[in-house]
Amino acid sequence: MFKIAVAGTGYVGLVTGVCFAEVGHRVICVDIDENKINMMKKGISPIYEPGLEELMRKNYAAGRINFTTDYVSAYRDADVIFIGVGTPEKPDGSADLTYIAIVARQVAETIEKDCLVVVKSTVPVGTNDKVEQFIHDFLPRCGESYTGNGAGFGKKIRVEVASNPEFLAQGSAVHDMLHAKRIVIGTESKWAEERLRKIYEPFNIPIVSVSRRSAEMIKYAANNFLALKISYINDIANLCELVGADIEDVAKGMGFDDRIGSKFLKAGIGYGGSCFPKDTKALEYLARQHGYSLRTVRAAIDVNTDQKTILYRKASRRLITFNGLKVAILGLTFKPGTDDLREAPSLDNIPLLLEQGAEILAYDPVGINNCKRKYPEGKSGRGTIKYVENIEDALREANVCFIFTEWEEIKAVKPEKYKQLMRTPLVYDGRNIYSVKEMRDAGVEYYSIGRI
């Protein structure tokens, strides 16, 4: 088993570290936030991810995983260092590699033995080449490592960089890593390839071994294809409404074709989260930098941007104004099973409603605290926002309801409840949770995506 250091304890880094510990490796996770480190040592996960906290506690108690802010002690004698820090989107759509560079320099100035550095963060094609060069630039005396005992400079250290993109879906990340369909590794030497193969051997999962640049492109190509699929079905759904077809019937008929498949064909109000929005923009930016136009990806971005506020526009045509109306919002996160609000449709609609003077009553089983950081409770612009602990309090006396996330708690609400609790049973469902017939039979004026 290997000594593994993991830089970053977000969705990628923490899940990676915990799962490596689960299969027997000795892992130390590094983060600059001392509060997060202390939380994890107490058995509290800083992120909401089903199954993660339990595995974290189990492996911490067994001594297979630890947490620290001291990167020097973590990287110094690690066999492998995984980089799982954020690569946020810049205003121009490109990826911000600042955190990658910081870790790369720390690694170069710290390691004392041969080491494989593995980038799990999603980075533009060619980044790992630069990371390897950057590390070599900062190794003491162009690749010679100081022994630290006063004996001067010792033998050269072998440092290589590999690409190992993650394919984790928030809400199922632990399962996705432990039971992945494939593991993609990108290396430039047999030494790096064999080391990564041995690290992943306990997982017993097929390994796709390619060059570094191909591995980087696999990640972007896969995520962009799924984003394209979502935007395509949403585009078709919008046309279905105009011509009198039902998108669920259409998607069902398409899904039987194994060349298409049924996954990611559920119409709604668009994709969000930390991956698809960022990765589509980053790939489109990369293409432009090389003088090429990725027209399909550009179209997916445009469709998704419009789709996020399609319910608001529908409701605006139905109502004179939102001013003074009680608006129930059910679901704040970009998907169920996570507390992540990044690029969530709720964040596109809340400011529009507040500008119109709406009195928002918002419910989400885990995302409220994160939403409060963006929209504190109370008056905001012409409107107000209040967060409630249950669905009933959100719906009571509401004039209109928007459903933005398909949490099980929301799906469990019976159609009759909307009629019973709301002042005006007017519901805009962005996730097609309910049967159109059942909602209308219950006396609810109901609008969804791609169905009439």
Task: Specify the DSSP class assigned to residue 188.
Answer: S
Q: State how far the Cα of 165 lies from the Cα of 267, in Å rounded to an integer.
A: 28
Task: Specify the DSSP class assigned to residue 95.
Answer: B
Residue 110: CB atoms within 10 A of its CB come to 20
Of all residues in the chain, what percent are helix, strand and coil, respectively (each to 5)? Answer: 45, 15, 40
Tell which residue, 297, 432, 403, has the closest CA to residue 345.
403
Q: Is 247 left (phi over 0), alpha (psi -120 to 50) or beta?
A: alpha
Are the C-beta atoms of residues 369 and 376 closer than 8 Å to each other? no
Asked if 401 is an active-site residue, the reply is: no
Quickly list DSSP for 105-127: HHHHTT--S-EEEEE-S---TTH
Q: State how far the Cα of 364 lies from the Cα of 176, in Å rounded to an integer.
A: 24
Buried b (16+ CB within 10 A) or exposed e, 252-271: eebeeeeeeeeebbbbbbbb
Question: How many degrees, rounded to 5, is the angle at CA 129 between CA 74 and CA 297?
Answer: 110
Tell which residue, 225, 242, 357, 210, has the closest CA to residue 297.
225
Tokens in use for 111? 């390691």
Task: Specify the DSSP class assigned to residue 283.
Answer: H
Measured in degrees and rounded to the nearest 5, phi and psi for residue 6 equal -125, 120
381-to-36, 351, 353 alpha-carbon distances in Å: 34, 9, 10
The residue assigned the tokens 């923490």 is 14
168 contacts: CB under 8 Å, gap ≥ 6:
11, 12, 15, 176, 177
The residue assigned the tokens 């990611």 is 264
Q: Which of 19, 115, 240, 275 is catalytic?
A: 275
Half-sphere exposure of residue 152, counting CA atoms within 13 Å on the CB side? 1
Q: State how far the Cα of 173 lies from the Cα of 15, in Å rounded to an integer.
A: 7
Catalytic residue numbers? 275
